Amino acid sequence: MERKILVTVDGSLYSSNALRYIGQLFGGIADMQFHLLSIVPCNVAPAGREWMEEEELLNALSPESRNKYSSQKRYLKQAILQLANYGVSAEQVTTSVHLSRMGIAKDIMHMGRTGLYDAILVGRRGISKLEELFMGSVSATLVDQCHDVPLWIIDGKVDSRTFLVPVDGSFYCLKAVDHLAHVLKDNSHAEITLFNSAAMLADKSTNPPEQFYELLGKQWCEEHLTREDSLFHAPKQLLLDNGFPEERIHWLQTFKGLYPSRQILRQALIDDFGTIVLGRSESTIRKGLFKSTTDQVLYMADQVAVWVIG
């Protein structure tokens, strides 16, 4: 099955980091498709802007915004060449430049949903975490409001092709692994480590196999979720079912630590993981500062990609 990733770009260093990330991870994999999307802020009054034709909006733009629109079109041509250097062919890449209608983050979410993309990738801007927390950013808004499309947040220059996947036996953990298994099918570059710590088990509740039937199927659940070693076996089996090589799936468990977020980030730092893959439930959607493990990991993450699947 063809996989489609929506990649947001703006010509900045952070966009180049995002292109580098997908190029290194997916170069040479033919059934991956990438749409590079640039959204230009629009100086036209918000009232009625959502319903205006693109040509009307272009005619109403300020000279500065019009120049930005043109420069983004030129940048997208360069971006295609940059990806080609990593082995992502031009046939795998489509591009578009849009004028913002609802706000950049909302425009991205709308396209991610209507285009049925497997994930939305965004490079985190170079502002401090404190500025991002109080002033907001596109990536922060997406994390806060986009819960139905997986998000890939790229922080800095990520070179490692290794994935750290915290597992705790929950439905949302397996949903995250299911997404990872689908995206990394037949990937010859990636290494995956399934990680569990005592801190993750502190508030773990029992999840009966029936809870997973709709996602994974009754027969699969009864075969793989009723074993004593299902905490590790079930996510590993999902990866194997999607063609990921067994020799590149690893298991790591620690009985240290009090806080899941700190244990996850500590392990990512120690072993130089490039990507952390997190599942989140509806109950952990942010309602205040640092409410969930996902929020904490995203706030403290540095020079690492974080995938959030909700």
pTM as predicted: 0.89
Residue 127 is predicted with a pLDDT of 46
CATH number assigned to the domain with residue range 162-309, chosen from the 4 options 3.50.50.60, 3.10.20.30, 3.30.413.10, 3.40.50.620: 3.40.50.620
User: Which distant-in-sequence residues (6+ apart) come within 8 Å of 59 by Cβ?
Assistant: none
Look at residue 9 and tell me whether its pLDDT is greater than 90.
yes
CATH 3.40.50.880 fits 3-154, yes or no: no
What confidence tens digit (pLDDT) does each residue in 180-201 have?
A: 999 998 888 899 999 998 777 5
Q: Which residues of 213-243 are buried (b: 16+ CB within 10 A; e: fewer)?
A: eeebeeebbeebbeeeebbbebbbbbbeebe
What confidence tens digit (pLDDT) does each residue in 252-262 have?
A: 998 877 788 88
What confidence tens digit (pLDDT) does each residue in 215-249 have?
A: 889 999 999 998 889 999 999 999 999 989 999 99
pLDDT bucket at 161, cuts 50 / 70 / 90: very high
Q: Is 75 exposed, middle or buried (0-12, 13-18, 19+ CB in 10 A)?
A: buried
Look at residue 16 and tell me whether its pLDDT is greater than 80.
yes
Tell me the pLDDT of the chain averaged across its residues: 86
Any idea where the domains of the chain sit in the sequence? 3-154, 162-309
Q: Is 259 exposed, middle or buried (0-12, 13-18, 19+ CB in 10 A)?
A: middle
What confidence tens digit (pLDDT) does each residue in 286-307 have?
A: 444 446 888 889 888 889 999 9
Q: Do 3-154 and 162-309 agree at the fold level? A: yes
